[in-house]
Amino acid sequence: MKESIHHGRNIKRFREMMGIKQEVLAFELGEDWTQKKVSLLEQKEEIEEDLLRQVAEVLKVPAEAIKSFNEETAINFFNSSFNGQFSGVNYHTTFNVNPVEKWVEALEENKKLYERLLESEKEKVELLKKMLEK
């Protein structure tokens, strides 16, 4: 029995691995795409070839990867290939990320963006004042 591969779920996996939000994928796919449409696409088990190739191009992965990736097969491969080969080695990665620091960094970045936006708006107001004076 041939196991079916869920194209939409694979698109979601590749998109998430690359840190791409649905909104960004929608923007890259074109004007008639929205976040909601990408969400619906990721729910489809089978996706037509042309659209699959377009999405693969945006994600910069081969269309074949989306069509053939099977998580269970990949897990079984790694379990059978590497079982017991890493004894005595800690192969569990530990990430030292301080969420508060990341949050503060994001706030600082937002502050800088708002300051630039405010400066731009001030320039527009000055330009409009000059145009009205003439």
> Whole-angstrom Cα distance, residue 19 to residue 62?
17
Q: What is the pTM of this model?
A: 0.53
Give the residue among 53, 11, 55 at the shortest CA–CA distance from 29: 55
Task: Please name the residue ranges forming H helices in the chain.
Answer: 7-17, 22-29, 35-41, 49-59, 63-68, 71-82, 99-133
Q: What type of residue is 42? A: E
**Along the 134 residues of the chain, how does pLDDT read in single tens digits?**
456 789 999 999 889 988 899 999 999 999 999 999 999 999 999 999 999 999 999 998 889 888 888 776 656 555 565 554 444 444 455 556 667 777 888 888 888 888 999 999 999 999 999 999 88
Task: Domain ranges for the chain, please list them.
Answer: 7-82, 98-134
Q: Is the domain 7-82 a CATH 1.10.260.40 member?
A: yes
